[in-house]
Amino acid sequence: MTKIAPSILSADFSKLGQEIKDVEKGGADYIHIDVMDGHFVPNITIGPLIVEAVKPITNLPLDVHLMIENPDNYIPMFAKAGADIITVHQEAAKHLHRTIQLIKDNGAKAGVVLNPATSADAILPILPDVDMVLVMTVNPGFGGQSFIRSMIQKIEQIATWRKEMNLSFEIEVDGGVNVHTAKECADAGADVLVAGSAVFGRSNRKEAIRDIKNAVKG
Ligand code: DX5
Ligand code: ZN
């Protein structure tokens, strides 16, 4: 079944603990944490301190999306803080293979992220080494943006390679996912759907998550 990873970027940070418990009770599968540094993307958000603070309040895997320059300098800190999955942008890693190994050496699952303008080809050589591929369906930096539909082909391409190469990494999709866009992502091969505003923008998070899961079933 398709997994839902609510992005806490759209949560109420004055009661972050409650917000996370709310989506966990509501059927979330991962907690998606968006880390932005004001350099790789035009916004600043969360550091390892917040990851460390939320770790003890949930049993769900923490899916930490690093939108930062020089990710190698921060990976050990995020792993130590409790990140279960760490994803790094292909565009931010100068030596992607080394960065993926660094994540694994620090005990977390390793994933690679593609911006909308980056071709799937850029990660073909690294596919046997990753636990997750995250396809951005908006330009990273902010929640609440519109889904870029032409990314569906990229998801399909990566799903095809996964099958041909007999690999088992998860495919995650991030940006503009809601009841209208979830099914096409899942049909294209996505296993995990990140949803920020579509979950935290509704007062009943259980219904929000259920509605996305139902939309996927069609
Ligand atoms: C964008 C972030 C996303 C974002 C998704 O830079 O990586 O995770 O929070 O938000 P929605 O679901 O509102 O597009
Ligand atoms: Zn994200």
Per-residue model confidence as pLDDT tens digits over 116-164: 999 999 999 999 999 999 999 999 999 999 999 999 999 999 999 999 9
Beta-carbon count within 10 A of 70 CB: 14
Q: Kindly report the three-state secondary structure assignment for every residue of 115-152.
A: CCCCCHHHHHHHHHHCCEEEEECCCCCCCCCCCCHHHH
Residue 50 Cα, ligand 2 centroid: separation in angstroms? Answer: 15
142 alpha carbon, closest ligand: 1
Q: Separation of 122 CA from ligand 1 center, angstroms?
A: 22
DSSP 113: E
Q: What does the block give as tokens for 158? A: 């990566």
Is residue 213's pLDDT more than 90?
Answer: yes
- ipTM value of the model? 0.98
The yes-or-no verdict on residue 218 having pLDDT over 90 is no
The whole-number pLDDT of residue 102 equals 98
Give me the CATH number covering residue 48.
3.20.20.70
203 is in an annotated binding site: no
Q: Is the CB of 178 under 6 A from ligand 1?
A: no
Nearest CA to ligand 1 atom 9: 143
Ligand 1 neighbour 144 (Cβ under 6 A): yes
**Does residue 70 carry a pLDDT above 90?**
yes
pLDDT grade, residue 21 (50/70/90)?
Answer: very high
Asked whether 45 and 35 are in contact (CB, 8 A), the reply is yes
Helix axes 205-217, 16-25, angle to 10 degrees: 40
**In terms of residue numbers, what domain contains 157?**
3-217
Nearest of 120, 196, 122 to residue 158 by alpha carbon: 120
Residue whose C-alpha is closest to residue 110's, from 121, 42, 93: 93
Active-site annotation, residues: 34, 174
The answer to whether 197 is annotated as binding is: yes
Q: How many domains does the chain have?
A: 1
The yes-or-no verdict on residue 165 having pLDDT over 90 is yes
Give the closest residue (by CA) to ligand 1 atom 1. 140
State the distance from the centre of ligand 1 to the C-alpha of 10, rounded, in angstroms. 8
65 assigned binding-site residue: yes
Give mean pLDDT, residues 43-59: 98
Residue 34 pLDDT level (bands cut at 50, 70, 90) = very high
